[in-house]
Amino acid sequence: MNQSIKVEKTVTIDKPTAELYRFWRHFENLPRFTRHLKDVRVSNDKRSHWITSGLLDGTIEWDAEIIDDRPNELIAWKSVANADVDNAGSVQFKPAPGDRGTEVKVVTVYNPPAGVIGDAISKLFGENPKQQIGDDLARFKMLMEAGEIATNDGQLSGRRNSKD
């Protein structure tokens, strides 16, 4: 059974559309804010190879082809034959209302390995694609607006023993 899962997320970023498009279009930048993406190698203007972390320290790889590229507006892609995960998607850039920057909308559609069962198993391991894309867009916003991604990695929780 081939059951696709679709995820859509939008974020408003206080930067010009052209700047955001240009940064995203250099796919090698994507691992800087996409937590599970390990590497993107661009082969040519239309094709790239993607490596992401999978379950149990494994990796998932695929080649993708750009099927629509409208500068400062849209990048759409689809995986090519024999991908570990059959997927397609787009990222759209459009001016936000009231001159508040740019709305960045990501839409992905994928067929998880083992279909819906594979999706349910991956959620058990904390790999929820809807949450991941939302988190990735939040990191993209931080990176573009502040120049860095704020984290609390390596910081203490702030809780103290009441006897201290």
Residue range 146-160, pLDDT digits in tens: 998 877 655 555 555
Question: pLDDT tens digit string along 131-144?
Answer: 888 899 999 999 99
With beta carbons less than 8 A apart as the criterion, state whether 139 and 33 touch.
yes
Q: Please report the pLDDT score of residue 33 as a whole number.
A: 94
Residue 43 covered by a domain: yes
Low-confidence stretches of the chain (pLDDT beneath 50): 1, 116-117, 120-121, 123-126, 162, 164
CATH number, domain of 48, equals 3.30.530.20
pTM for this prediction: 0.81
Residue 164 covered by a domain: no
With beta carbons less than 8 A apart as the criterion, state whether 85 and 110 touch.
yes
Q: Please report the pLDDT score of residue 123 as a whole number.
A: 47
Chain Cα centroid distance, residue 12: 15
> Residue 108 in 3-state DSSP?
strand
Q: Please report the pLDDT score of residue 30 as a whole number.
A: 95
Alpha carbons within 13 angstroms on the beta-carbon side of residue 118 total 16
Domain of residue 112 covers 5-146
d(CA 43, CA 88): 18
Question: Which residues lie below 8 Å from residue 163, measured CB to CB, with a gap of 6+?
Answer: none
User: Looking at the 3D structure of the chain, how many domains does it have?
Assistant: 1
**Angle between helical axes of 129-146 and 17-25 (0-180°, round to 10):** 120
Q: Please report the pLDDT score of residue 153 as a whole number.
A: 58
Residue 156 covered by a domain: no
Q: Please report the pLDDT score of residue 124 as a whole number.
A: 43
